[in-house]
Amino acid sequence: MKLELTRVVQGGYRLGVLKEIGRATHLSLEVPGCLLYTRCGTVPHLTHDTLHTLSNLPSITQLTLSTVVEHQEVLEEYKDGFKKFAGLHDTALYCSLHDPVTQSPAGYVTNKTVSVWGSGGRIELTVGRFMALQKALRPDLYQSMADGETWQGDASSRKRIRKSVDRTLAHLDECLLIHQQTAELQGAEVLGVVEGGDSLEERVRSAKETAKRPVGGFCLDGFQTGSMEGSLRTQLIGAVAGELPEDKPRLLQGVGRPDEVVACVEAGVDLFESFFPFQVTERGCALTFDLDLSPDPERAVLELGEEKDEAWESEQSGDVQLEDQAETITPFEMDLKDTKYRDDFTPLVEGCGCYCCTNHQRAYLHHLLVTNELLAGVLLMLHNMAQYNAFFRALRGALAGDQLEPFKKRVLRSKRVA
Ligand SMILES: [Zn+2]
């Protein structure tokens, strides 16, 4: 795996292309960028055909162990890996431990095991079982097993944080040893997981130690939305990034809100999970970024919109509410269940080229949502994924053109479209 950076701001953002991803040597992914979120290899709400009405899909598909752990025997018998099993073509496969949307209960980690929750309940994984799963799945890259509980509940004492860093390093060493001895995993990359909760000292220690190991990149865990204030998160990520080698990618887990994404990119993050469009879809909303959706990324941010919302900025300078934010409608979306859309015969977003916007209007989506039609999820998911990808594309255009500040003013301040 090669990370070719075209632009690096000292102590700040990085712009470039990730190439030769694991064994998928013909694939590349522009950074900052996001992965394709799936459950058991399928994007929620979408079939293979509807998914592929979208262009420029991320070239790395994320698979979560908790969604496949119960199929271990079948996959082991199949022998050809998950990509072939699930009919995933022309994509790299990244395997993570937990689903970013579903919070796992705390208190089930021991020195030798972590737990994941399948549909039938809790499943305890040792490094041996974790690696047997990787061997059966044959991903192109995967995170090493990690104790990432420090951001949950009462598990955040200094002592507990230190233990999580120690355990995660021990798991990584064990994973790497088995990785090197497993023929099925040759050519795949291991991402070392950086833990350390909200402790600067432990974050730096975890990053330094992980960077000493032969990993292909880094997974920054424990920074999930709701786990800490945004300013503390970016400060810690900045410190961690300072300890990591420049030529390896950094994937941030559990952060998807556009304003948080931009702040973390500025702190040195390259890759994000893309569960956010799914969360927006689940609450019956549509993403409405104030992007110039022209296909030419260079032009993406040159036309500045009017500065229109002072209130949003002051909201943002306040503290992040440390609560479950999954249900909270962010300023980047419109709530289509609102009766004001009942007779609105305009597309969700003017100029968005997705299937939903080219064929349907807000009023139809409103009708589908209030009558609980399954089609609402399909259409919204298509639109929200298209918008989220366009957001990342515009962000890269802004970084390339030295237009980050205007981009932030315009896109992050955009309130819901009336
Ligand atoms: Zn659309």
Higher pLDDT, 345 or 226: 345
Count of CB atoms situated within 10 Å of the CB of 314: 9
Residue 306 has pLDDT above 90, yes or no: no
- Say how many Å lie between the CA of residue 356 and the centre of ligand 1: 5
Q: Can you tell me the distance from the alpha carbon of 125 to that of 112, in angstroms, rounded to the nearest whole number?
A: 8
Q: What is the identity of the amino acid at 66? A: S
Q: What does the pLDDT read at residue 227?
A: 85
- Say how many Å lie between the CA of residue 327 and the centre of ligand 1: 22
Count of CB atoms situated within 10 Å of the CB of 296: 9
- Say how many Å lie between the CA of residue 289 and the centre of ligand 1: 11
Calculated CA dihedral for residues 157, 254, 216, 5, nearest 10 degrees: -120
**Which residues make up the environment of ion ligand 1, defined by Cβ < 5 Å?**
352, 354, 356-357, 383
Residue 295 has pLDDT above 50, yes or no: no
Calculated CA dihedral for residues 77, 79, 85, 87, nearest 10 degrees: -160
Task: With cut-offs at 50, 70 and 90, classify the pLDDT of residue 298.
Answer: very low
Residue 46 has pLDDT above 70, yes or no: yes
Q: Can you tell me the distance from the alpha carbon of 125 to that of 130, in angstroms, rounded to the nearest whole number?
A: 6
H/E segment holding residue 367: helix 362-370
- Say how many Å lie between the CA of residue 333 and the centre of ligand 1: 12
- Say how many Å lie between the CA of residue 379 and the centre of ligand 1: 9
Q: What does the pLDDT read at residue 151?
A: 62
**Phi/psi at 126 (5° precision):** -90, 170
| pTM exceeds 0.85, yes or no | yes
pLDDT tens column, 99-138? 999 888 888 899 999 999 988 899 999 999 999 999 999 9
- Comparing CA positions, the residue from 237, 238, 239, 229 lying closest to residue 253 is 237
The answer to whether 34 and 278 are in contact (CB under 8 A) is no
- Say how many Å lie between the CA of residue 350 and the centre of ligand 1: 8
CA separation, residue 188 to residues 25, 121, 149, 176, 244 (Å): 10, 29, 26, 11, 20
- Say how many Å lie between the CA of residue 50 and the centre of ligand 1: 13
- Say how many Å lie between the CA of residue 35 and the centre of ligand 1: 19
- Say how many Å lie between the CA of residue 62 and the centre of ligand 1: 23
- 201: three-class secondary structure by DSSP: helix
- Say how many Å lie between the CA of residue 114 and the centre of ligand 1: 40
Count of CB atoms situated within 10 Å of the CB of 177: 12
Q: Could you tell me the two tokens for 102?
A: 């579903």
Q: Could you tell me the two tokens for 344?
A: 């609105």
Higher pLDDT, 224 or 143: 143
- Say how many Å lie between the CA of residue 398 and the centre of ligand 1: 21
| DSSP labels, 25-84 | EEEEEEESEEPEE-BTTB-TT--HHHHTTSSS--SEEEEEHHHHGGGHHHHHHH-S-HHH
Q: Can you tell me the distance from the alpha carbon of 333 to that of 312, in angstroms, rounded to the nearest whole number?
A: 13
The answer to whether 6 and 38 are in contact (CB under 8 A) is no
Q: What does the pLDDT read at residue 336?
A: 97
Residue 58 has pLDDT above 60, yes or no: yes
Q: What does the pLDDT read at residue 317?
A: 40
Decide: residue 363, CB within 10 A, 0-12 exposed, 13-18 middle, 19+ buried: middle
- Say how many Å lie between the CA of residue 286 and the centre of ligand 1: 8
- Say how many Å lie between the CA of residue 332 and the centre of ligand 1: 14
Residues 21-25 have a mean pLDDT of: 91
- 373: three-class secondary structure by DSSP: coil
Q: Can you tell me the distance from the alpha carbon of 216 to that of 249, in angstroms, rounded to the nearest whole number?
A: 8
pLDDT tens column, 258-278? 999 999 999 999 999 999 999
283-287, 292-296, 407-411: segment of lowest average pLDDT: 292-296
% of the chain surpassing 90 pLDDT: 79
The packing angle between helices 230-243 and 200-212, to 10°, is 30
- Comparing CA positions, the residue from 241, 73, 68 lying closest to residue 142 is 68
- Say how many Å lie between the CA of residue 52 and the centre of ligand 1: 14
Higher pLDDT, 362 or 24: 362
- Say how many Å lie between the CA of residue 348 and the centre of ligand 1: 6
- Say how many Å lie between the CA of residue 407 and the centre of ligand 1: 20
- Say how many Å lie between the CA of residue 291 and the centre of ligand 1: 12
Residue 184 has pLDDT above 80, yes or no: yes
Say which CATH class 2-274 falls into.
alpha beta
Q: What does the pLDDT read at residue 374?
A: 96
pLDDT tens column, 60-93? 999 999 999 999 999 999 999 999 999 998 999 9
Residues 145-170 have a mean pLDDT of: 84
- Comparing CA positions, the residue from 330, 359, 361, 338 lying closest to residue 348 is 361
- Say how many Å lie between the CA of residue 397 and the centre of ligand 1: 20
- Comparing CA positions, the residue from 272, 233, 227 lying closest to residue 388 is 272
Residue 290 has pLDDT above 90, yes or no: no
- 314: three-class secondary structure by DSSP: helix
Domain ranges of the chain: 2-274, 286-313+321-412
pLDDT, the chain, mean: 89
- Say how many Å lie between the CA of residue 287 and the centre of ligand 1: 8
